């Protein structure tokens, strides 16, 4: 279960978007995705899929950065050619506007995953007063 802090942080990040930036954020949202590098037989990939995979697309994080699954042994899709190789599965790579924002290597469990993903998403926007207060 996600912590209250991670929920507050995510919603405060979304709320901190200036009204004039709505068009820019729509474009950014369309190009923002969470790439899951996986392989057949990966027990930790299966665990993530069981614990989070079925509901990820329903969360604010999943709507902001939809999941894209890629086989670690296959060729990278052309639009992801800028990514450095991934050797561990699962590896979650936050991508936005054709750039890698950051990675989560491995699956640390449900609680840690949401916090680590929140940290990656926070890199997309500068912290404002709401985030600073939530972090106290």
- pTM of the prediction? 0.73
Q: Do you know the residue count of the chain?
A: 136
What phi and psi values does residue 94 have, to the nearest 5 degrees? -85, 125
Record the tokens describing residue 90, joined without a space: 């699962």
Domains of the chain: 4-12+25-134 (3.40.30.10)
Record the tokens describing residue 20, joined without a space: 């004039």
Show pLDDT as tens, one digit a residue, over the chain (136 residues). 555 444 444 444 444 433 333 333 333 445 899 999 999 999 999 999 999 999 999 999 999 999 999 999 999 999 999 999 999 999 999 999 999 999 999 999 999 999 999 999 999 976 555 444 444 3
How far is Cα 126 from Cα 133, in angstroms, rounded to an integer?
Answer: 14
How far is Cα 80 from Cα 93, in angstroms, rounded to an integer?
Answer: 11
Please tell me the number of Cα atoms within 13 Å of 107 on its side-chain side: 19
């Amino acid at each position: 279960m996600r912590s209250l802090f991670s929920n507050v942080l995510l919603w405060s990040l979304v709320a901190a978007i200036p009204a004039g930036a709505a068009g820019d954020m729509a474009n950014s949202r369309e190009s923002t995705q969470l790439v899951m590098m996986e392989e057949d037989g990966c027990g930790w990939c299966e665990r993530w899929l069981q614990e989070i995979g079925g509901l990820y697309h329903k969360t604010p994080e999943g709507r902001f950065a939809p999941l894209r699954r890629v086989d670690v042994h296959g060729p990278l899709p052309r639009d992801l050619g800028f990514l450095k190789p991934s050797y561990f599965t699962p590896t979650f790579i936050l991508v936005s506007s054709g750039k890698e924002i950051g990675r989560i290597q491995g699956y640390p469990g449900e609680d840690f995953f949401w916090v680590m993903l929140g940290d990656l998403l926070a890199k997309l926007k500068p912290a404002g007063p709401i985030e600073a207060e939530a972090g106290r």
